[in-house]
Amino acid sequence: MVSLEQSVFKELDLETKLEILSQLIVNGIKIDFSGGDPLYFEDDYVVIGKAIEKLPKSMVNVSTTGASFNDRKLGILRKVGKVEMTLDNLGGSDNPYRPKGYNESSMQALKKLASAGIRCSAVTILYPFTMTKYNLLSLHGWLCKNNISQWDILKFSTVGRGTGHNNLVVSNDEYLEMMQFIESLGGPIRIAFQHSLRVLAGNYTCHAAHESIGILPDGTAVSCAWALDQDGKPLDGFYLGKLPEDNLGDILKKALESLAYKNRQATCRILDYQNREGK
Ligand code: SF4
């Protein structure tokens, strides 16, 4: 699977984006469009529209926001496999890490998606503000009541815009304790922990370059879509190549043949990098 991520890089023009998309389609690669908001610019509609025209529904996911959510977006999202939206807490409480109104718009959009029968997921990032039993219990109750299909739980990582926010990271034991609590909530919703948490729990191996890569808006391919510095550039050792100049098949082959990715490993490669670099 590939994530098409946003960064501060100069975006490719539409024609080149479509060229890269063709490479992904030819290689039968599942795509997760994520951002920022991958339904913001007019070009984005063309790219996602082409992806859903050429690939089966199950092979296109979109991670978007509730901002300016309208019938046009709903129409496109009906044709994708899954829609994800970040929801760290319910509206009404002041989250200093999210823009004002962010949660409320996600909640409204999630309700519309669920009412339209679209498979959707609320994504909650774990950091001290969100890691209270009260917050998680409230979220779980709201999601179940509104028939949201899935709840994805992520760990905060000090990458990209989060670089340097080490105060938002807690100990492994605290993550594990919170995961146990979330799991115990049960209910009709599917609860899924992201790989960075599953490696902590010891029941997953890092799939960077093996099952997924990231493609940045300038065509840079990275072995993990999250492995970016504060400027949105790949962390050392995560750069795989540049599309469309490099061939996608060659990039993946070379990555898997390299010592760095030959074997999947039981730890998160981003955390390993940060520990090595003392970050
Ligand atoms: S490097 Fe970490 S975040 Fe990236 S795929 Fe591996 S476990 Fe997941």
Instruction: Write out pLDDT tens, residues 71-84.
Output: 999 999 999 999 99
Closest CA relative to residue 95, chosen from 168, 149, 152, 195 = 168
Q: Is any atom of ligand 1 closer than 6 Å to the C-beta of 208?
A: yes
Per-residue confidence (pLDDT) for residue 52, from 0 to 100 = 97
- pTM given for the model: 0.93
Instruction: Tell whether the model's pLDDT for residue 234 goes beyond 50.
Output: yes
Question: In the Cβ-directed half-sphere of 230, how many Cα atoms lie within 13 Å?
Answer: 5
What is the 92 CA–ligand 1 centroid distance (Å)?
33
Instruction: Tell whether the model's pLDDT for residue 157 goes beyond 60.
Output: yes
Least reliable range by pLDDT among 160-164, 178-182, 188-192: 160-164
* CA-based torsion, 170, 173, 179, 185: positive or negative: negative
CATH 3.20.20.70, applies to 2-277: yes
* CA-based torsion, 245, 251, 254, 260: positive or negative: positive
Q: Is any atom of ligand 1 closer than 6 Å to the C-beta of 155?
A: no
Per-residue confidence (pLDDT) for residue 3, from 0 to 100 = 64
What is the 8 CA–ligand 1 centroid distance (Å)?
21
Instruction: Write out pLDDT tens, residues 203-220.
Output: 999 999 999 999 999 999
Mean pLDDT along residues 259-273? 93
Q: How far is CA 99 from CA 92, 150, 177, 203, in A?
A: 13, 24, 28, 34
- Domain assignments of the chain as residue spans, ordered by start: 2-277
Per-residue confidence (pLDDT) for residue 100, from 0 to 100 = 87
Instruction: Determine which residue's CA is closest to atom 1 belonging to ligand 1.
Output: 269
Instruction: Write out pLDDT tens, residues 109-122.
Output: 999 999 999 999 99
Q: Is any atom of ligand 1 closer than 6 Å to the C-beta of 235?
A: no
Cβ proximity of 219 and 20 under 8 Å: yes
